[in-house]
Amino acid sequence: MTRTPHVTLSQYGSLYSESVSDSEGFWRREGGRVDWIKPFTKVKDVNFDLGHVSINWYADGTLNVAANCVDRHLATRGDQTAIIWEPDDPKDAAKHITYKQLHASVCKMANVLESLGVRRGDRVVIYLPMIPEAAYAMLACARIGAIHSIVFAGFSPDALSARINGCDAKLVITADHAPRGGRATALKSNTDAALLHCKDTVKCLVVKRTGGQTTWIDGRDYDCGEMMLEASDISHPAEMNAEDPLFILYTSGSTGQPKGVVHTSGGYLTYAAMTHEIVFDYHDGDVFWCTADVGWVTGHSYIVYGPLANGATTIMFEGVPTYPDASRFWQVCEKHKVNQFYTAPTAIRALMGQGKSFVEGCDLSDLKVLGTVGEPINPEAWNWYNDVVGKGKCPIVDTWWQTETGGHLMTPLPGAHEMKPGSAMKPFFGIKPMVLEPASGEVLEGNDVEGVLVIADSWPGQMRTIWGDHERFEKTYFSDYKGYYFTGDGCKRDADGDYWITGRVDDVINVSGHRMGTAEVESALVAHAKVAEAAVVGYPHAIKGQGIYCYVTLMNGEEPSDELYQELRKWVRTEIGPIASPDLIQWAPGLPKTRSGKIMRRILRKIAEDDFATLGDTSTLADPTVVTDLITNRMNKQ
Ligand code: WTA
Q: pLDDT of 485-536, one tens digit each?
A: 999 999 999 999 999 999 999 889 999 989 999 989 999 999 999 999 999 9
Domain range annotation of the chain: 512-633
**Orientation angle between helical segments 562-575 and 518-526, nearest 10 degrees:** 120
Domain 512-633 belongs in CATH node 3.30.479.30: no
Instruction: Give the ranges where 97-206 is alpha helix by DSSP (H).
Output: 99-115, 132-144, 157-166, 187-195
Has 158 been labeled as part of a binding site?
no
Average pLDDT, the chain: 96
Residue 638: the pLDDT is 53
Name the residue at shortest CA distance from atom 8 of ligand 1.
402
Residue 496: the pLDDT is 97
Q: pLDDT of 562-590, one tens digit each?
A: 999 999 999 999 999 999 999 999 999 99
Q: Which atom of ligand 1 is nearest to the CA of 402?
A: 22
Q: How far is the CA of 561 from the centre of ligand 1 (A)?
A: 36
Q: How far is the CA of 402 from the centre of ligand 1 (A)?
A: 5
Residue 159: the pLDDT is 94
Prior bond of 540 cis (ω within 30°): no
Average pLDDT score over residue span 143-163: 97
Rounded to an integer, what distance in angstroms lies between the CA atom of residue 621 and that of residue 371? 44
Rounded to an integer, what distance in angstroms lies between the CA atom of residue 504 and that of residue 436? 14
Has 166 been labeled as part of a binding site?
no
Rounded to an integer, what distance in angstroms lies between the CA atom of residue 593 and that of residue 597? 5
Q: How far is the CA of 399 from the centre of ligand 1 (A)?
A: 8
Half-sphere exposure of 377 (CA within 13 A, CB side): 34
- Contacts of 475 by beta carbon, 8 Å cutoff, 6+ apart: none
Which pTM does this prediction carry? 0.95
Q: Which atom of ligand 1 is nearest to the CA of 403?
A: 18
Residue 255: the pLDDT is 76
Instruction: Give the ranges where 6-55 is alpha helix by DSSP (H).
Output: 9-21, 23-30
Residue 1: the pLDDT is 47
- Contacts of 191 by beta carbon, 8 Å cutoff, 6+ apart: 127, 157, 160, 172, 174, 204
Q: What is the DSSP letter of 138?
A: H
- By C-alpha distance, which of 373, 213, 407, 367 is closest to 287? 367
Has 376 been labeled as part of a binding site?
yes
Q: pLDDT of 408-456, one tens digit each?
A: 999 999 989 989 999 999 999 999 999 999 999 999 999 999 999 999 9
Rounded to an integer, what distance in angstroms lies between the CA atom of residue 578 and that of residue 268? 30
Per-residue pLDDT for 257 more than 90?
Answer: no
Average pLDDT score over residue span 273-292: 98
Name the residue at shortest CA distance from atom 24 of ligand 1.
402
Ligand 1 pocket, CB under 6 A: 251, 296-298, 373-376, 398-403, 424, 487-489, 501, 504, 510, 515
Per-residue pLDDT for 81 more than 70?
Answer: yes
Q: pLDDT of 378-399, one tens digit each?
A: 999 999 999 999 999 999 999 9
Name the residue at shortest CA distance from atom 13 of ligand 1.
376
SS3 call for 559: coil
Q: Pseudo-torsion of CA 609, 611, 616, 622, nearest 10°? A: 70
Average pLDDT score over residue span 205-220: 97
Residue 597: the pLDDT is 80
10 Å Cβ neighbour count for 209?
Answer: 24
Average pLDDT score over residue span 265-271: 98
Name the residue at shortest CA distance from atom 5 of ligand 1.
402
Per-residue pLDDT for 13 more than 50?
Answer: yes
Has 18 been labeled as part of a binding site?
no
Q: 334 pLDDT band (50/70/90 cuts)?
A: very high
Per-residue pLDDT for 180 more than 60?
Answer: yes
Name the residue at shortest CA distance from atom 4 of ligand 1.
375
Average pLDDT score over residue span 189-212: 98
Residue 266: the pLDDT is 98
Half-sphere exposure of 208 (CA within 13 A, CB side): 14
How far is CA 474 from each of CA 211, 453, 465, 471, rounded to the nearest angstrom?
46, 17, 8, 5
ipTM of the complex in this document: 0.99
Q: Which atom of ligand 1 is nearest to the CA of 399?
A: 15
Residue 2: the pLDDT is 66
Percent of the chain with pLDDT over 70: 99
Average pLDDT score over residue span 529-548: 94
Q: pLDDT of 603-616, one tens digit each?
A: 999 999 999 888 88
Name the residue at shortest CA distance from atom 7 of ligand 1.
375
